Chains A and B, each alone.
Chain A
Amino acid sequence: MSLENCFRILAKYYPSFLLGIRTTLIVSLSGTLIGLVIGLLVGGFRAVRLDKTAPKETRYLKNAIDISLKIYIEFFRGTPMMVQAVFIYYMVYTNIVHWDKMIAAVVVISINTGAYMSEIIRSGIQSVDPGQNEAARSLGMSSMQTMMDVILPQAIRNAFPAICNEFIVNIKDSSVLMIISITELMFQSNSVAGTTYRFTETYFVTAMIYLLMTSMSSFLFHHIELRMNHTKTSFPQSDTNFYSMKIAKEKTQ
């Protein structure tokens, strides 16, 4: 393998790689965002505890939905995404509708990410001090209002690093979606390698592109996180920030 050949491949086939990058980013980003929405709904729903006064029917319904959601989560976390991709793609294709591969890819990665996000959101919810819930409830807020206004915003904040990590995982793991022939980076690399017969160099280039995408994303997220800590919404108790210093000054005056 020579670096020179790597550059030669890159120079000649960069349109293929660029298309691959584009598809990979579209699939990963939409998968992460839709997955996050699924995770908020599923994780939030599972974390709601019914009041003692809730009617029996509500209780059964909640229980039944909880169990189905648990099965969904276990299924998608316990099987490889590559298998999920071919299974879902062909099942829908043969039984329901001849659907677009790209749509299939986004659906698969979203449902898959949703399963992981559900657990991330649920543990984010559990990391919120139970006193927050009790305070809201003692003011007469319903469990739903409490979840939406008080618990979820803090849970998302606590789970932010894990949520970002899902995006990075998706950049890498979307490579298995080549199995349904979408033009993501791995699929594109395969066709470049098949044309050039320079497997080592091609896949080295591929690896470097993945590395660049993941490290740039984590750099970006890291900075967003720092920024979040600097705003007034800062969650960690800190007594050396702008406000308390201002207060301290006023006191001494």
Chain B
Amino acid sequence: MSVIEIKNVKKSFEGNVVLSDISFNVEKGEVVCLIGASGSGKSTLLRCINLLEDIDEGQITVLGQDIGKLHNINEYRKKVGMVFQQFNLFNNMNVLDNCMLAQTRVLKKSKEEARKEAIRQLEKVGLSDFINAYPATLSGGQKQRVAIARALCMDPEILLFDEPTSALDPEMVGEVLNVIRELAEEDMTMIIVTHEMKFAADVSDKVIFMDDGIILEEGTPFEIFNHPKNERTRQFLARIIS
């Protein structure tokens, strides 16, 4: 059984169709990269998986549960971490509290346990020296690494990344991609929306090219990047790589 099964998902905003018929599966430990032009519905799809948006039709099954029929959204969400383009660190807390809050509130851990786990994850992303810093004082790359650590503190089974490096200065992209790369090596199940094609080619087991609310092409990175079948995929890649 696949970890994520997406079947014929449709979603529109006030008559504007954003996802017209999306189906794909993600297996345990798989890294799937979603690529596609701006406005093709990539973020919307991720947001539907995390229930930040509701789908109109179709079915999303995650870890064996139809997420349209959940009794407790929060139980579900703690298993599915999300990393945002704009980081969304809690501005009113320092780095450590950012990583501890949901552990104490949602997982009901003690302060001491939460603190230990937070420091462990912050060490992993190379930011254990910054536990007392406030988000406003961090660089973009540091913020995003904290955001990843914060998601990891929940010990999620799946991580969703929505353009994690798009808001970063070029010199900070690498540090964030390296953290994600490490997670891929540890067999974390991930869906990553990205415009970093080289990175996508490196880490992903599967690449999905979305265009205008549908999946135009899906395959191994080699298939998509070296032998794209679809004309639009070719055009998109040519535009992005130049």
Q: Which residues of A contact B52 (CB under 8 A)?
A: 134, 137-138
Contact, CB under 8 Å: B90 / A136: yes
Contact, CB under 8 Å: B133 / A52: no
How would residues 238 to 253 of chain A score, 1 for a CB under 8 Å from any chain B CB and 0 otherwise?
Answer: 1001111001000000
Whether, in the assembled complex, B197 has its beta carbon less than 8 Å from a beta carbon of chain A, the answer is: no
Q: Separation in Å of the B22 CB from the closest CB of chain A? A: 20
Taking A138-B77, A139-B78, A232-B137 as contacts, is the C-beta distance between A150 and B150 under 8 angstroms? no
Whether, in the assembled complex, B239 has its beta carbon less than 8 Å from a beta carbon of chain A, the answer is: no
Contact, CB under 8 Å: A51 / B73: yes
Whether, in the assembled complex, A129 has its beta carbon less than 8 Å from a beta carbon of chain B, the answer is: yes
A-B contact count (CB 8 A): 100
Whether, in the assembled complex, B70 has its beta carbon less than 8 Å from a beta carbon of chain A, the answer is: yes
How would residues 82 to 112 of chain B score, 1 for a CB under 8 Å from any chain A CB and 0 otherwise?
Answer: 1010101111101000000110011000000
Q: Which residue on chain A has the smallest CB distance to residue B50?
A: A138
Q: Which residues of B contact A136 (CB under 8 A)?
A: 90, 101-102
Taking A140-B74, A154-B92 as contacts, is the C-beta distance between A243 and B134 under 8 angstroms? yes
Taking A135-B90, A150-B92, A233-B134 as contacts, is the C-beta distance between A142 and B74 under 8 angstroms? yes
Please report the total number of B residues contacting A with Cβ < 8 Å.
38
Q: Separation in Å of the A106 CB from the closest CB of chain B? A: 31
Q: Which residues of B contact A78 (CB under 8 A)?
A: none
Q: Which of B75, B84, B101 has the most CB of A within 10 A?
A: B101
Q: Which residues of B contact A137 (CB under 8 A)?
A: 52, 77
- A137–B81 Cα gap in the complex (Å)? 10
Q: Which residues of A contact B88 (CB under 8 A)?
A: 129, 131-132, 134-135
How would residues 137 to 181 of chain B score, 1 for a CB under 8 Å from any chain A CB and 0 otherwise?
Answer: 111000000010011001000000000000000000000000000
Which residues B36-92 have CB closer than 8 A to chain A? 50, 52, 54, 70-78, 80-82, 84, 86, 88-92
